[in-house]
Amino acid sequence: MEKSPHVDHWVTVTTSSGMFSSEYAIALKLASGQVVSFFADKALIKEQQGKSFLKVTLVNQNPAQHKELVLLPTETFETASRWAEIVTE
Amino acid sequence: MILSNVEIVRCLKAGLFSISPIAGDDPTTSPFNTSAVDLRLGEEILVPDEKSAPVQLDLRKPGIAQFWAKHSKSLKITNHQPFSLTPNKLVLARTCETVSFPLNTTEICYSARVEGRSSLARCGILVHFTAPTIHAGFSGSITLEIINLGSHDFLLTPAMFICQLIIEEVKGCPVTAPNQFKGQTSPAGVL
């Protein structure tokens, strides 16, 4: 059903047990250094080489500054926003 | 513009958004109303811990999600063992159905609002408050904040029709696709 031109985009996060069995509690470090938290369905998480990756929507990239703006699946507790600027690896 | 029952079924069949597993596909019968579709209660109920020590939540500090994960208890309800929601008690639950409202630039985007049901409202049951919006781009089951403002205990049973979803068109694409995907974090074999 996906007709979107948006390609799946994955960002590194830290996961721990969520409230519901079908979700994780997520910790994500923003470009500002602030660590934010929120919940995400386990279906949005992939594990690879000991790291956890969260599926997000890529909104904009700034390769020169190694930053990107992404749209999170849900708003964070700490910023009350789904928009997140993060540092690319 | 709010979608009618007939339009909701048309969009579901066209794959413009999804509600799965939906309780039926005839727009003239349940789970459809004339301008909404009813969703059912899932089997997991989360009961926040009773306050055992003084806690002050400060959303400026990290780790709020982890705090709630640690300070709640998960219960599975069945038809034989429903959850009795006592007056003034808050629990969290989820819908049986997973919904998906994809972002796209070539088709109209859709969003939704989750609302209570009049029958439950008469019993004093709120199934959500302050956060009804299911944004364009959301995918997942819907979390419900259920509180009993009535004067009697109320039984929460699995698959009961607990809320309704009102679906709307979103004018304009919320996010334009970036031209470049250089530097994308894409674990091999995942994309």
Residues of B annotated as catalytic are 145
Question: Hey, how many other C-beta atoms are within 10 angstroms of the C-beta on A37?
Answer: 24
The three state secondary structure string of B85-98 is: ECCCCEEEEEEEEE
A64 near B CB under 8 A: no
> Residue B18: closest CA among chain A residues belongs to which residue?
A1
CA distances from A24 to A6, A54, B98 (A): 24, 10, 16
> What value does the mean pLDDT of chain B take?
88
Domain map (residue ranges) of chain B? 5-48+70-170
Between A16, A22, A71, which is nearest B137 by CB? Answer: A71
Question: pLDDT tens digits, residue range B122-142?
Answer: 999 999 988 899 999 899 999
Q: Evaluate if residue B27 carries a pLDDT over 50.
A: yes
Q: Is the model's pLDDT at B81 over the cut of 90?
A: yes
pLDDT score recorded for residue B188: 40
CB-based burial of residue A28 (10 Å sphere; 0-12 exposed, 13-18 middle, 19+ buried)?
Answer: buried
> Length of chain A in residues, anyone?
89
Contact residues, chain B, for A7 at CB < 8 Å: 181, 184, 191
**pLDDT per residue of chain A (89 residues) written in tens, 0 to 9:** 444 455 679 999 999 999 999 999 999 999 999 999 999 999 999 999 999 999 999 989 898 999 999 999 999 999 999 999 999 87
Calculate mean pLDDT across residues B4-11: 96
Match domain B5-48+70-170 to its CATH number in 2.102.10.10, 3.40.50.720, 2.70.40.10, 2.40.110.10.
Answer: 2.70.40.10
Distance of alpha carbon B160 from alpha carbon B95, whole angstroms: 10
Cis previous bond, B132, omega within 30: no
Identify the pLDDT of residue B185.
40
B147-175 tens-digit pLDDT: 999 999 999 999 999 999 999 999 888 87
A33 touches chain B (CB under 8 A): no
What pLDDT does residue B187 have?
40
Could you tell me if A18 lies within 8 Å of chain B, comparing CB atoms? yes
Average pLDDT over residues B91-114: 91
Q: Say whether residue A50 is in contact with chain B using an 8 A CB cutoff.
A: no
| pLDDT score of B50 | 81
Q: Who has greater pLDDT, B191 or B100?
A: B100
ipTM of the complex: 0.80
Rounded to an integer, the average pLDDT of B62-76 is 91
Give the chain A residue nearest B42 (alpha carbons).
A20
Q: Where are the domains of chain A?
A: 8-87
> What pLDDT is attached to residue B108?
87
Q: Assess contact for A29 and A52: CB atoms under 8 A.
A: no
> What is the pLDDT at residue A48?
94
DSSP-derived letter for residue A21 is: T
Q: What distance lies between CA A12 and its chain's CA centroid?
A: 7
Q: Which residues contact B73 (CB under 8 A, 6 or more apart)?
A: B46, B47, B49
The closest CB to that of A77, out of B59, B92, B140, belongs to B59
Burial profile A59-78: b = 16 or more Cβ within 10 angstroms, e = fewer: bebeeeeebbbbbbbbbbbb
Chains A & B: contacts with CB separation below 8 Å: 143
- CB-CB under 8 Å, A38 with B190: no
Got the DSSP string for chain B? -BPPHHHHHHHHHHTSSEEET-S---TTSTTEETTEEEEEEEEEEEEEPP--S-----TTSS-HHHHHHHTEEEEE--SSS-EEE-TT-EEEEEEEEEEE----SSS-EEEEEEE--HHHHHTTEES--S--EE-TT-EEEEEEEEEE-SSS-EEE-TT-EEEEEEEEEESS-SSPPPS--TT----TTT-
With CA atoms as reference, the chain A residue closest to B190 would be A46
Instruction: Indicate whether B182 pLDDT > 50.
Output: no
* pLDDT attached to residue B131: 85
**Least CB-CB distance to A36: which of B15, B62, B189?**
B62
* Angstrom distance (rounded) from CA B26 to CA B175: 33
Confidence check: pLDDT of B13 > 50 = yes
Least confident piece of the model among A70-79, B65-74, B104-113: B104-113
Q: Which of A15-19, B46-50, B89-93, B173-177 has the lowest mean pLDDT?
A: B173-177
pLDDT at B42 over 70: yes
Q: Please check whether residue A68 touches B, CB under 8 A.
A: yes
In this complex, do A4 and B102 lie within 8 Å of one another by their Cβ atoms?
yes
Among A6, A20, A21, whose Cβ lies nearest the Cβ of B103? A6
CB contact under 8 Å between A2 and B63, yes or no, is no
For residue B8, pLDDT beyond 50: yes
**Residue B18: which of B96, B98, B94 has the closest Cα?**
B98
Q: Is the pLDDT higher at B119 or at B105?
A: B119
